[in-house]
Amino acid sequence: MAARSPQKKTRLAKKETEPLRRASKRKSTQRTNVPEKDASSASEGSEAEAQVNSAPKRGQKKRSTPRKAPSRKKREETPEEVTDAAAAADDDPEEYDSDALDDDSDDLRVAKRKGKKASSSPRKRRRTKAAVDDPELTEGQEIIGKVVEAPKTGHVPAGQISSNTLNFLRDLKKPECNDRQWFKLHEPVYRAAEKEWKAFIESFTDLLAEVDSQVPHLPPNDVVHRIYRDVRFSNDKTPYKTGFSASFSRSGRKGIFAGYHIAVKPGGESLIAAGSWCPGKNELATIRANILRSPNRLRQVISKPEFVQWFGAAAPSADGERSNIFGMEDELKVAPKGIDKNHKDIDLLKCRSFAVVHRFLDNEVLDPEFRNKLADVARVMMPFVHCLNDMMTVPPDDDDGDEDQDEQDSGHGSE
């Protein structure tokens, strides 16, 4: 077969790339559809045409000097590269015509891309509209009410209780308000009342530590009780307590020791209490063993005139009402097991809890000297608390220690 001349090869290469010539140079406006595979062949054809054009013609010498290194300026994309990028970005295959490869069709392609980007699903449009209406809401959230801000007036110095705190607790006593949704909306009011209560407790702790040296000076978080109720084993599913409270003992608000308890509740239910509420089985057995051995110290403490003045007579009430340490709800109706029901100290042996309580009116709670009044009552309670701690921890056969403690309590009483 005869070899082809270079001119003939050039004509054949140009003939193969003839369908990819730009349509803008044609006078006819007729469009022809190009299959997807022609996009790749177009790039191949342009490379072949470039090689043919770069080949030296007959009689022309080949360039021997090296070409200048191309600049690092951003290269403009050819229409074929733009077309390939657009085809790769679209999910669905589309048909392109020869006019789409022209330079003047750039505006048309940009407008087409903008149109596609603006379109979105109805669900996305709904989410966008909701975000514009309320930027803080996310999908699945809804507005349940307006958050109530903390009071701007009625503040009191640290160490006092304000009417703002009592008003918040008074609202919390209402069934329609003792609800998680209501509490969430009034959380700023609660935080302000809680801060005031902790400042009051810190101030009262200083006074109590002076009255009873056995009570350590602990921070408020170690003595204050949570306002959230434990409803796991209760039929009452009310989520919040209706008052603020705190307990003080040798080990803070927890432990086996007798101690002091204060609470602020509107409606005349604020109180100060002292003693041991439902002590453990071992502690209760030790107390009863000490009563059987010698009840004199306990009877002397609860029968002092000042103690009776605050907490009532040291004997069970005829009508069953609370008096002194008697009349508790958990008091036994019969004698404890193994003890004669006609025992001379059966009134003490029937006690399941050993505690005394004094209540205050709301106007007393709002008094600036309220914490000092609590300290005065705690001073009367102190010998009773020490007596119970000894009866729970000292074995009943320690006679000498009991007599020494009786003399100490007598000395405190004379002061």
Give the CATH number, domain containing residue 355: 3.30.930
Q: Within a domain: residue 372?
A: yes
Residues whose CB is less than 8 angstroms from the CB of residue 352 and which lie 6 or more positions away in sequence, other chains included? 278, 284, 328, 330, 331, 332
| Whether the Cβ atoms of residue 96 and residue 83 lie closer than 8 Å to each other | yes
Q: What pLDDT score does 252 carry?
A: 86
Q: What pLDDT score does 270 carry?
A: 97
Q: Within a domain: residue 2?
A: no
Q: Within a domain: residue 294?
A: yes
Based on its alpha-carbon atoms, the radius of gyration of the chain, rounded to whole angstroms, reads 46
Q: What pLDDT score does 300 carry?
A: 96
Q: What pLDDT score does 410 carry?
A: 47
Q: Within a domain: residue 197?
A: yes
Domain count along the chain: 1
Q: What pLDDT score does 143 carry?
A: 65
Q: Which domain holds residue 169?
A: 163-414
Q: What pLDDT score does 4 carry?
A: 53
Residues linked to residue 245 through DSSP beta bridges, in sequence order: 263
Write out the E strands in 318-384: 354-360
d(CA 229, CA 234): 10
Q: Within a domain: residue 388?
A: yes
| Whether the Cβ atoms of residue 101 and residue 22 lie closer than 8 Å to each other | yes
d(CA 219, CA 263): 17
Q: What is the model's pTM?
A: 0.63
Q: What pLDDT score does 413 carry?
A: 43
Q: Within a domain: residue 243?
A: yes
Q: Within a domain: residue 333?
A: yes
Q: Within a domain: residue 339?
A: yes
Residue in 120, 124, 96, 119 with CA at minimum distance from that of residue 108: 96
Query: Mean pLDDT in runs of 10 for the chain (415 residues)?
Result: 53 50 47 46 48 50 51 53 52 44 45 49 50 57 80 94 96 94 95 97 96 94 94 91 96 90 96 94 94 95 96 88 90 91 94 96 96 97 96 73 48 43
